Amino acid sequence: MAEAKQYCTFTLDGLYFGVEVRHVQEVVRYQEMTRVPLAPAEVRGLINLRGQIVTAVDLRRRVGLPDRPPGRLPMNVVLRRDDGAASLLVDAIGDVIEVEDGVFERPPDTLHGPAREMIRGAFKLDTRLLLVLDAEKVLALTP
């Protein structure tokens, strides 16, 4: 019998993504950010999360999608790392879902660019495709 894993899901530009729940510290609404001079374009700034300074990474930019429309505030998926926490800025938060590992497939061949390196694979769900992010690779270029 295949092992099941839980994924925290969210959307980016209409695409459905997930990251393993074991990497997620919490999910929070938009937080004001302090810009970081000379940081890579995908690092949108730093947020203060109850006294913890967290790097906010714009996941749209990180995977090569167009910028979020003006006036639409992102949500934060805060991930745990060995050296602290980092936040992924996403369009909307979904549910935590459980999926059997047996139906996991490698990334679709239609996936190109930077996203291909960061997506571990996909699950074909009843109504859509869940793209699973490799949390470590997504955060590899953050300070």
- Please report the pLDDT score of residue 99 as a whole number: 92
Report if residue 143 sits inside a domain: no
Q: Are 16 and 99 in contact (CB under 8 A)?
A: no
How far apart (Å, rounded) are the C-alpha atoms in residues 61 and 65?
6
pLDDT at 79 over 60: yes
pLDDT digits (tens, 9 = 90+) for 2-20: 688 999 999 999 999 999 9
Q: Using CA atoms in the order 11, 16, 20, 23, what is the torsion angle rounded to 10 degrees? A: -20
Single-letter code of the amino acid located at 132: V
Query: In CATH, what number is assigned to the domain containing residue 21?
Result: 2.40.50.180
pLDDT at 67 over 80: yes
- Residue 139: which of 29, 26, 24 has the closest Cα? 24
Give dist(CA 104, CA 57) in Å, integer.
Answer: 26
Q: What is the dihedral of CA 82, 42, 125, 107, to 10 degrees?
A: -90
The number of distinct structural domains making up the chain is 1
Looking at residues 105-134, what average pLDDT do you find?
A: 87
Q: What is the pLDDT of residues 116-130, one digit of tens each?
A: 889 999 999 888 999
pLDDT band at 142 (very low <50, low <70, confident <90, very high): very low
pLDDT of residue 143: 43
Any domain includes 72: yes
Tell me, yes or no, whether 53 lies in a domain. Answer: yes
Lowest mean pLDDT among 20-24, 82-86, 129-133: 82-86
Residue ranges making up the domain that contains 124: 4-138
Looking at the chain, the whole-number percentage of residues with pLDDT higher than 90 is 71
Long-range pairs for 137-143: beta carbons < 8 A, 24 or more residues apart: 138/19, 138/57, 138/59, 138/62, 138/63, 138/88, 139/57, 139/79, 139/81, 139/86, 141/40, 141/42, 142/40, 142/43, 142/55, 142/57, 142/86, 143/36, 143/39, 143/43, 143/55
- Is 13 among the domain residues? yes
Residue 140 pLDDT: 84
Residue 141 confidence (pLDDT)? 64
| Least confident stretch, 10-19, 62-71, 96-105 | 96-105
Mean pLDDT along residues 64-92? 93
